[in-house]
Structure 1
Amino acid sequence: MRLTLLLALAPFVSSTAAASDDRAKPPAADFVRDVQPVLAKHCVSCHGPDKQKGGLRLDRGPDALKGGDSGAAIVPGKPTHSPLLQRLTAEDASERMPPDRDPLTRAQIETLSKWVEAGAKWPAATGTAEQHWAFVPVKRPPPDPKHPGRNPIDALVTAKLSGNGLSLSPEADRRTLLRRLKFDLLGLPPTPEEVEAFAADKSPDAYEKLVDRYLASPHYGERWARHWLDAVRFAESNGFETNQPRPNAWHYRDYVITALNDDKPYDLFVREQLAGDLLGADAATGFIVGGAWDEVKSPDTTLTLNQRADELHDMVGTTGAAFLGLSVACARCHSHKFDPIPQLDYYRIKAVFADVQHGERPVRTGDPVARAKEADRLRAQLATLEQQLAALEPLADPVAPDARRAAVNPKRNTDRIKPTRAKFVRFVVFETNNLEPCIDELEVFSAGPQPVNVARASTGAKATASGTYPGAPNIHALAFLNDGRYGNGRSWISNRSGRGWVELELAEPALIDRVVWGRDREGRFADRLPTRYRIDVSLDRESWSVVASSDDRAPFAKDAALVPGGLTATEKATWVALAQQIDGLRQKLTDLDRGPVAYAGRLVPPEVTYRLHRGDATQPREAVGPGALTELGPKFDIPEGASGPERRLALARWITDPRHPLTARVAVNRLWQHHFGTGIVDTPSDFGRNGAKPSHPELLDWLASELVERAWSQKAVHKLIVTSATYRQASAARADGLAKDAQSRLLWRYPPRRIEAEPLRDAVLFVSGKLDLTMGGPGFDLFEPNGNYVKVYAPKKQFGPAEFRRMIYQHKPRMQLDDTFGVFDCPDAGQIAPKRNVSTTPLQALNLLNSSFALQQADFFADRVRKEAGADVGAQVKRVFALAFQRPPSAKESSAAVTLVREHGLAALCRAVLNANEFVFVD
């Protein structure tokens, strides 16, 4: 039983005092001095950062005033209406808070009552963003004339060094600098010729010209895309127990590479990944659905609800981590324990993504006018080929069931008839190979030298049917029967098992000689195929004639030949060639019409979003509209009734608002991290209170402001970094630096580091002369093909030219790593990997020394050296060192290498240098 505050205070105060208190408003209590200690001692253990019983949190103002699952706990100005005080003063011990303890004292109750009656003011500095460096606006530091350098980066770094009694190291030699720069920007080693040319170029801007050339290289996007794909958990399989491939996920990878090569402004890069469907960059939304997905849906509604909640959770969490450097996902079950992210904000962002589901959709590419012209050209070419193919088809003869025509097949069937005038064409199905009959497109062609499909809805033809399956999803409808588009995704399904009919009324009577139909011309589905059917025509809808049927076809069989019977060997060869050309043209037309299919998310009307009690999908509470973080960044609202794409674009604009304190900081920190091995903030996807503090806060803010001022150009920031004296330092260790900063965080030298798995594999192929620099498109596979329902990833043991592309183009499965280079700390894409581990293990040495790939490439490397250096062993040794290390061998190295070649062969030397620290490390 709950009592009012006045009744609850009866044991402690007299009625006269109560009346007096009612007449005279008490002085306000000081929150920090009087109120906060009471809450901290008696309430926060159950309603604080570690747990929030009843959804109530009392250690932060906005959360305390918002209340919990039962509504507001504090009503400012009305202590008698505040459930918090009612529970604190309840006579019933089972109702009174805190539980299992002595009740609050009279003085504590009076303190809280006075505070609530005075308005329950919560100081602005308590639990707000202003307490943390990353949540305040970016402030561009002024230049410091006491610390000059090549650019302001050096001034800010040397100021920090000077304060610690350190200084920059001298500039690295040209070979080291060139090798460092090319691996950093392109992920490839330099050639001996590049090193010689750079050493010979005495112009003062020689290095700057090299930087510009590398930044303009198409290989720049390939190198830096890998960093981004790690941070956004990109992979090309679904994960979970079946881990099936996503054959069309590569479009997002190619989008990222192209965007980086084009130096797409970073703010637009962000907006396109969240709302590319509105911005002409459909493939970019592969970011949203790039995470793991449990494709196996259960009939258990509870499990399905949790699967959907987990899908959206991944979208919210990755968006917050990638663009804002915040662990927004931590607010799913309760308000964030450390950062100002109320639980409600999590669900506001979740509502933004409520229109996105995992799956594929067509994506637009290229100029639409050019695509239309190309489509017209292909249609004319297709009509000619189809006419030639039809001439080889035997005429349908419904009264002569002698199996003279090929059996029906799922992809495409032609019923050629004698020229007949018709206004109505009816296709009647009597039997299928299973389930309800399905037709993806029913075409009727006019007779003559220039046949036209007169059955299309766009020419005025109308379709009717015996019925359409009532439970069919929106990919199956009668309107799709003659819309001119192929595939299961736009098809008609009958409402009767094994039977049904469709009828086309042509716009005008026409002389026709061909009916073409298929179950799924994309070739993905073979069920629901009509195996017994009849085609009727009529001029008046009353008198019908049978013009074709399945009676003169060969009996249906799963693997029946598609070539008609009765053809000579030459005619069969012609038929097969024409059919292949037609299939190719149709696929090109499909791609032009809808664009290629990419794993970029299925877009649906936004579902209603509810706040979930403790994040449990089976415990929905109030409905929540779309929005963003309310306590961080610029204030904004998403209009009520905004569509799904409009919601996502609004969120993207909020994230990329130049006033946002996080976006630019997070972006430049990622660039700095991959140039120096460690970011200015060592937790690149967590800038919150639990993340690391910046080693150079002023430098971070200067770079962030510079990114915005330079129109969000990432290449401009790259150039600033790599042309700085800080970047151009030697990497040699110094006693003073090691004593004060062993990790080189203050940047008294350039930190040497091992190259990652991808550039290491690329470098091996590069020096062996086998690297294929073909860009874009579907990737290569390092695992044996198999079609198991539960995908089994068996590593390949043999490699050929198909596997010799750059590793960015490897078809990357989730949870499975390449057998050779996976041990070099490759992330498995099970979750975001904004920062890779760097380990040293025996398996790394063994794989690089003894794997079939390493042995094969060592042989290729030796073959290349023999061709380029000839038979002289000394010349061979020099060429090996030049290709692998971009320098000549020392006398000692030369002597040992010559001995090794003479005793064990050139391949042994090549294998050795591929395992040398100098090959796998960048100084």
Structure 2
Amino acid sequence: MIPIRTVLVGLLLASTATAADKTTADRKGLDFFESKIRPVLVRHCYQCHSAKAAATKMLKGGLQVDTRSGIRKGGETGPAVVPGQPKKSLLVAALKHDGLKMPPKAKLPASIVADFEKWIQLGAPDPRDGKAVATQAIDVQAGKTHWSFQPLAEVKPPTIADGDVVRTDIDRFIHAAQRAKGLTPNPRATPAALLRRLHFNMIGLPPTPDDQQRFLAEAEKDFEAAWTAEIDRLLASKHYGERWGRHWLDLVRFAESNGYAFDKDRANAYQYRDFVIRALNQDMPYDRFVRLQIAGDLLAKTNTKTTSEARTALDAVAATGFLVAGPFTTQQTQKERERSRYEQLDDVVHTLGTSLLGLTVGCARCHSHKYDPLPQNDYYRFVSCFKEVGFGDTSLNLNPEAFQASKAKYDAALKPLTDAVAAWEKNRLPSRFGQWLARRPSAPPTPSFGHWHHVGPFPAADFNKAYDTAAGPETRLQAGANLGRSFLKGTVSWQVQPGWTDGKIHNTLTGNSAANYLVRIVDSPSALAVELAFGGDDGMKAFLNGKEILNKKTMGGVKADQHKVKVTLAAGRNELMIKIVNAGGPSGFFFRMNGGQVPKDVVAAWSQPAEKWNDKQKTAVRNWYRTTDEEWVPLDAAVAAHRKTEPKPKMTPVYSARVRGTTYQFGGDTFKVYFLSRGNADNKQGEAPAGFLQVLMNTRENGQHWLTNGGDKKQPVKPRVAAAGWLTDVKNGAGHLLARVIVNRVWQYHFGRGLVTTPSDFGTRGERPTHPRLLDWLAGELIRGGWKLKHLHRLILSSHTWMQGNGRTANAEKVDPDNRLWWRRGAKRLEAELIRDTLLDVSGRLKRDMFGKGSLDQKSNRRSIYLTVKRGQLIPILQLFDAPDAMQGVGKRNESTVAPQALAMLNSPFIRELSGGFAKRVRPDAKTSLETAINTAYRMALARTPDSSEREAMLAFVKTQTESRKGQANAEELAIRDFCHLLLCSNEFIYVD
């Protein structure tokens, strides 16, 4: 236990980083160099600035950038790179074309320049010692001998009998290695410490006082039963998915905006986060979890009939947010788009490689991997699996049963209406049509239109007031006047406009933030169903015979047929009025009537005697006549009115991968992938077929094993579906490595360090596992357990290795100072999100609502996983405690200890506010004794009771603070707040031992 007496000191005076932290940071920096920097240097700079260029007398400016020493030394104008100082690095100025220009012909995208600035700010990590390494042919078969590429070993746990320290098979592996070095593990931690550790590990929140009381009472009776029950309870908690989902979101660089300068929001990207939480809570098999993220949109049945099917489809589609979660710059010229498309695909493959396989696949982009058996051609074949991936929103109906019910109700109401029309056409139309023909007029009757009359403009303070305020003739409508009276009569002075013809746009209206009114008379020979087409800017209303038929704000220029309305003209005189409201600039309108006019084939038939009409002409005239019949018009109008009420499914947009969705468009090659020499899109070497990494294939068919269905007639499989199959295939594909990587990550999140300490690099540059047989046993156990992660959690949480305390001995420190043999439990600092969530929790403000859109307000009362991850506007308190920036996947977070963290905890108004809420919970009224308040505060914040010395010290502190506030009405209340604030600033509050 870290005593409360280390209040603040640990935060203010702790060393800035451990050796392990520095190693992790260095490796992250090198990975950033390999994925973001080296490819650009090779593609754009080596031709003129490398040892090869010097040897061929092509070197320019004396600058070589193909080694670390060369790029830092610089050329004739000075150092190209000054680690930690982008503004003093000439390379950055040259990339920006600020005086110097590199490349000379065209400036690189702003996103690449930003990557170089970030790399230099990180200290310009660069592994290139000495001369540039020449690319050598890769022997993939020889490379398969590396431990991580080998099939899973069939491992049996060592036979060790030691009841005190061997609870599970995990302990057998761990204790066997300890025995070999003469070490023994720590005894089991106290039940109170274990409960706090378990809650933070599994749900990311502290145990409540009620949780503590219940568990400690049960543990006193039967610890084993109580512990098993508590594990099961937390694994069943809805908050388990939130806690472990945050780990996953780190790996996949999840964010809800594009990043870079414009940083456009992805309003529906939260659906991926929600999928991850749901999948973990449901204990979705990990192999399925992976397959959905690679090809869920292709595997999903989106034409769903039930809510259950719809939810399954939602998960499958939302899962592909994994592929399109990366940054996406919209600052592109036409020439930059193809390069940027390859950058986008590289982001997909690089993230997939590090997060799922623990391999730096992206390092094979410009040349074969310098360390791992990954040929460059394998890289482009694998990229080709994702060549049709674009992004966008996929709309899904999540409640098809509700829609089907409303549609059935609608159809039932529609049937008698359509039956009435059909009955009339069968029983009445023949006789009425015959009677009409008998008194055949000289020409088909059609509506006649008077000239447009115009009045305006009527100005207002702004557009909305002009739109909402009735002016001129419109006032009669709102006053409920006799609508039979003509709009044209009254005090308003109308101007006739004989030149305003139908079917044309007339940009002749004037006035900004003003309304114009247009009126015309339409005489119809009979009741007539017609369609009126309107256009107007920036908003318009329309009235027919005093009744509003249109109300639309377009907020844009006038266009033909912007709005269409079906109406029935009354027999005789009809008055049509339009209100056009302009926000600013030129203004106009458009109008025409569809229907009512006599079709050409009817006019042609009318010129002949009826007895000479053929069947086609008779049908044409009869159908036209029908639209003018006073009996048919109301029947048809009833059908039309009902059709307007036809229910539409409520569609939910989901940001996801889409086949040929939005991306950098540059013509016919947009959705193709080529082998690129040095990763240069201008140097194509032939189209790359879909394929996989040879080092992770154990079949003579190579990629065809997954790219075609089995059987005599092999059918092609979509490349992404095939990739999902290859990734999860334990026998012939990458499944064994997939399992090793995820069990190592689970171990890391439980213990603070993985069995492989380089969790995203299982290649030859990564560390070897400390316990290789345990790693393979865990991977095998995961697979044998149906890829269920909760099974893995139970194994780990039930082990003595996880449950031991953190005591130290001189011998153990000497033999294993880095605790690589797991003889003690190390203290872990809470992640940024857990610090914030716990602050909200103890203050009583935490809202546990799940799912849905998030917020950018760091004072939001929801859990931190629901805060919006906007790349250009990250949450300050989370960044202060090392939350990732979501520009690339993070396998292990940095853990800095800097003064601003302590200063924020001490001085932030938000933290002070939360301290006040905490104080009200521990002492809701003056009847609660100070001693009770202190005990309650300890249990809420630290999940334990204070010892006697701590209690006395805190009582003295509260009394001193009360005395210092003498004269204030609420002095003791403020003193309690100070005490609560003190607890929140302690090391023990943010560390779990």
TM-score range, shorter chain: 0.5 to 0.7
Instruction: Verify the 8 A CA contact 2:558 2:589 in the aligned structure 1.
Output: no
Instruction: Verify the 8 A CA contact 1:866 1:876 in the aligned structure 2.
Output: yes
Equivalent of 1:177, from 186, 194, 203? 194
1:318 to 2:351 alignment: yes
The one-letter code sitting in structure 2 at the alignment partner of 1:652 is A
Equivalent of 2:324, from 289, 301, 304? 289
Q: Which residue of 2 aligns with 1:611?
A: 675
Q: Which residue of 2 aligns with 1:747?
A: 822
The one-letter code sitting in structure 1 at the alignment partner of 2:743 is V
Alpha carbons of 1:378 and 1:726: their partners in 2 closer, same or farther (altered >3 Å)?
Answer: farther
Secondary structure of the residue aligned to 2:895 is: coil
Q: Which residue of 2 aligns with 1:837?
A: 894
1:658 to 2:734 alignment: no
The one-letter code sitting in structure 2 at the alignment partner of 1:366 is L
Q: Which residue of 1 aligns with 2:991?
A: 921
Equivalent of 1:329, from 345, 362, 366? 362
Q: Which residue of 1 aligns with 2:590?
A: 532
Secondary structure of the residue aligned to 1:205 is: helix
Q: Equivalences for 1:224-243 in 2 at 5 Å?
A: 224-243=244-263
Deviation at 1:538, TM superposition (A): 2.3
1:366 to 2:398 alignment: yes
Instruction: Verify the 8 A CA contact 1:731 1:749 in the aligned structure 2.
Output: yes
Q: Matches of 1:738 and 1:812 in 2, distance apart? A: 41
The one-letter code sitting in structure 1 at the alignment partner of 2:673 is T
1:770 to 2:842 alignment: no
Q: Matches of 1:408 and 1:648 in 2, distance apart? A: 50
Number of aligned pairs?
Answer: 665
Q: Matches of 1:916 and 1:408 in 2, distance apart? A: 55
Deviation at 1:403, TM superposition (A): 7.2
Question: Identity over aligned residues, as a percent?
Answer: 36
Alpha carbons of 1:502 and 1:195: their partners in 2 closer, same or farther (altered >3 Å)?
Answer: closer
Deviation at 1:598, TM superposition (A): 2.4
Q: Which residue of 1 aligns with 2:380?
A: 347
Alpha carbons of 1:213 and 1:399: their partners in 2 closer, same or farther (altered >3 Å)?
Answer: same
Equivalent of 1:356, from 377, 381, 389? 389
Instruction: Verify the 8 A CA contact 1:354 1:644 in the aligned structure 2.
Output: no
Q: Which protein, 1 or 2, shows the higher relative CO under an 8 Å CA cutoff with sep ≥ 6?
A: 2
Q: Which residue of 2 aligns with 1:757?
A: 832
The one-letter code sitting in structure 1 at the alignment partner of 2:719 is R
Alpha carbons of 1:824 and 1:339: their partners in 2 closer, same or farther (altered >3 Å)?
Answer: same
Q: Equivalences for 1:145-184 in 2 at 5 Å?
A: 145-146=159-160, 149-184=166-201
Q: Equivalences for 1:686-725 in 2 at 5 Å?
A: 686-725=761-800
Q: Which residue of 2 aligns with 1:648?
A: 720
Q: Equivalences for 1:2-401 in 2 at 5 Å?
A: 128-146=142-160, 149-201=166-218, 202-203=221-222, 204-277=224-297, 278-279=299-300, 280=313, 281-299=316-334, 301=335, 303-358=336-391, 360-364=392-396, 366=398, 368-373=400-405, 399=452, 401=454
Q: Matches of 2:140 and 2:281 in 1, distance apart? A: 45
The one-letter code sitting in structure 2 at the alignment partner of 1:739 is K
Q: Matches of 2:138 and 2:851 in 1, distance apart? A: 52
Secondary structure of the residue aligned to 2:245 is: helix
Secondary structure of the residue aligned to 1:596 is: strand
Alpha carbons of 1:880 and 1:598: their partners in 2 closer, same or farther (altered >3 Å)?
Answer: same
Give a deviation string over 1:458-501, Cα, whole Å, max 9, x none. Answer: xxxxx9999xxxxxxxxxxxxxxxxxxxx99xx9x9xxx96656
Q: Matches of 1:245 and 1:503 in 2, distance apart? A: 30
Alpha carbons of 1:754 and 1:146: their partners in 2 closer, same or farther (altered >3 Å)?
Answer: same
Q: Matches of 2:355 and 2:560 in 1, distance apart? A: 52
Q: Which residue of 2 aligns with 1:879?
A: 936
Q: Matches of 1:272 and 1:176 in 2, distance apart? A: 38
Alpha carbons of 1:123 and 1:454: their partners in 2 closer, same or farther (altered >3 Å)?
Answer: same
Instruction: Verify the 8 A CA contact 1:282 1:363 in the aligned structure 2.
Output: no
Q: Matches of 1:313 and 1:372 in 2, distance apart? A: 43
Secondary structure of the residue aligned to 1:595 is: strand
Deviation at 1:356, TM superposition (A): 1.4
In the superposition, the TM-score normalised over structure 1's length comes to: 0.65
Instruction: Verify the 8 A CA contact 1:125 1:131 in the aligned structure 2.
Output: no
1:626 to 2:640 alignment: no
Stretches of structure 1 that go unaligned for 5 or more consecutive residues are 1-49, 56-121, 383-395, 419-425, 435-452, 456-462, 467-486, 520-524, 545-584, 783-795
Q: Matches of 2:236 and 2:692 in 1, distance apart? A: 37
Alpha carbons of 1:502 and 1:180: their partners in 2 closer, same or farther (altered >3 Å)?
Answer: closer
Q: Equivalences for 1:482-561 in 2 at 5 Å?
A: 500=560, 531-538=589-596, 540-542=598-600
Give a deviation string over 1:785-812, Cα, whole Å, max 9, x none. Answer: xxxxxxxxxxx7xx4xxx0110000001
Q: Matches of 1:514 and 1:843 in 2, distance apart? A: 72
Secondary structure of the residue aligned to 2:876 is: coil
Secondary structure of the residue aligned to 1:913 is: helix
Stretches of structure 2 that go unaligned for 5 or more consecutive residues are 1-40, 47-135, 301-312, 415-448, 469-473, 478-482, 485-500, 510-528, 536-551, 603-643, 662-667, 962-974
Q: Which residue of 2 aligns with 1:727?
A: 802
Alpha carbons of 1:465 and 1:608: their partners in 2 closer, same or farther (altered >3 Å)?
Answer: farther
Instruction: Verify the 8 A CA contact 2:245 2:277 in the aligned structure 1.
Output: yes
Structure (1 or 2) with the larger CA radius of gyration: 2
Q: Which residue of 1 aligns with 2:480?
A: none
Alpha carbons of 1:193 and 1:504: their partners in 2 closer, same or farther (altered >3 Å)?
Answer: closer
Q: Matches of 1:734 and 1:291 in 2, distance apart? A: 46
The one-letter code sitting in structure 1 at the alignment partner of 2:778 is L
Alpha carbons of 1:454 and 1:653: their partners in 2 closer, same or farther (altered >3 Å)?
Answer: farther
Instruction: Verify the 8 A CA contact 1:128 1:631 in the aligned structure 2.
Output: no
Deviation at 1:728, TM superposition (A): 0.9
Instruction: Verify the 8 A CA contact 1:324 1:685 in the aligned structure 2.
Output: yes
Secondary structure of the residue aligned to 2:595 is: strand
Instruction: Verify the 8 A CA contact 1:878 1:889 in the aligned structure 2.
Output: yes
1:680 to 2:755 alignment: yes
Q: Matches of 1:840 and 1:817 in 2, distance apart? A: 19
In the superposition, the TM-score normalised over structure 2's length comes to: 0.60
Alpha carbons of 1:886 and 1:332: their partners in 2 closer, same or farther (altered >3 Å)?
Answer: same
Instruction: Verify the 8 A CA contact 1:334 1:343 in the aligned structure 2.
Output: yes
Deviation at 1:726, TM superposition (A): 1.0
The one-letter code sitting in structure 2 at the alignment partner of 1:627 is G
Deviation at 1:260, TM superposition (A): 0.5
Deviation at 1:599, TM superposition (A): 4.9
Alpha carbons of 1:639 and 1:710: their partners in 2 closer, same or farther (altered >3 Å)?
Answer: closer
Give a deviation string over 1:581-601, Cα, whole Å, max 9, x none. Answer: xxxx99x977x4543242545
